[in-house]
Amino acid sequence: MKNITVIGAGTMGNGIAHTFAQFGYKVNLVDLSKEVLEKGITTITKNLDRMVTKGSISEDDKNNTLNNITSLTDLKEGVSNSDLVVEAATENKELKLKIFKDLNNLCRPDTILATNTSSISITQIAAVVDTPENVIGMHFMNPVPIMKLVEVIKGYNTSDKVLNTIMEISKNLNKVPVEVNDYPGFVANRILMPMINEAVETLYNGVAGVKEIDTVMKLGMAHPMGPLQLADFIGLDVCLSILNVMYDGFKNPKYAPCPLLVNMVTARKLGVKSGEGFYDYSESRKAENISKMFL
């Protein structure tokens, strides 16, 4: 299995493409937008440059990685010969279902179809294809080239063969795959998002300020990043989407998003990617500093 397609060249997609390419896989990076593709390749190049500077890879490694990536806007061309497709589009259920319906018509019957969803049911996504046994969750953590964990989510119909294949591929990427069951939020976000939401509630209720809340969690709980800063880094819209999926899935009020989070997303204060969230990222170097914390 050497031919990989990654759908979506945004933050997660370009990170996933970077990682597969760095470990010798041939990667088609597909996005409808040429601009997003160009930005994605630029991000990959900058991240590789940082790795070269730090001595973790060589200049030849960087060039080989970039040569392993082909950017495409045509989905049919991008997936026609793929052994594995990893969908990394926006965390939107309807969009993902549409993509998988298209993949059902364009891919070989034996192609493994993975989704990088952080909360949406794998079983529900698999229901729109003819080979649900080939559909699996492959939830990478951000930033993908650095973070070790991959949540591997087996849907109701996912075959053991596909599960074992994805576990081995994840290990080939120098990741640590962890098998989890198909419930809203899986493990990572089922635990993380209520914590972030509670931090927002703490701010909303006037218990403490943004920096104070984050400082307590960093110094008192040994978190590398406070929950509000982490929410900015993830994207407040993504946090809201995941909380809504869990609230709809469990019907438990503990997953109901804080009104402050809802208002901030409505006002397009989304964190690093919009230039403002709980912190101010209006200067480009501030957003750059967030990336440098990891790379």
Q: Which residues participate in catalysis according to the annotation?
A: 118, 139, 151, 189
Instruction: Kindly report the backbone phi and psi dihedral angles of residue 280, in degrees, each rounded to the nearest multiple of 5, phi listed first.
Output: -95, 120
User: What is the DSSP pairing of strand 176-181 with strand 26-30?
Assistant: unpaired
**What CA–CA distance (Å, rounded) separates 59 from 13?**
23
Binding residue per annotation — 70? no
71 is in an annotated binding site: no
Helix (H, G, I), strand (E, B) or coil at 150: strand
Backbone φ and ψ for 135, nearest 5 degrees, come out as: -100, 135
State the distance between the two ends of the chain, measured CA to CA, in whole angstroms.
28
Rounded CA-CA distance 115/122 in Å is 8
The answer to whether the beta carbons of residues 7 and 48 sit under 8 Å apart is no
Q: Tell how far CA 262 is from the center of its chain.
A: 21
- 3-class DSSP string for 74-131: CHHHHHCCCCEEEECCCCCHHHHHHHHHHHHHHCCCCCEEEECCCCCCHHHHHCCCCC
209 annotated as ligand-binding: no
Length of the chain: 295
CB 115 within 8 A of CB 144: no
Whether residue 275 is annotated as binding a ligand: the answer is: no
Q: Answer yes or no: is 11 a known binding residue.
A: yes
Q: Is 283 annotated as a binding residue?
A: no
Is 237 annotated in a binding site? The answer is: no
Determine whether the annotation assigns residue 118 to a binding site.
yes
160 and 6 Cβ atoms separated by less than 8 Å: no
Q: Does 9 show up as a binding residue in the annotation?
A: yes
> Is 10 labelled a binding residue?
yes
Q: Is 197 annotated as a binding residue?
A: no
Q: Is 277 annotated as a binding residue?
A: no
CA pair distance 13, 142, nearest whole angstrom: 10
Produce one character per residue of 255-287: b if its CB has 16 or more CB atoms within 10 Å, e if not.
bebbebbbebbeeebbbbbbbbbbbebeeeeeb
Q: Detail the residues annotated as belonging to a binding site for NAD(+).
A: 8-13, 31, 91, 96, 118, 142, 273
Q: Detail the residues annotated as belonging to a binding site.
A: 8-13, 31, 91, 96, 118, 142, 273
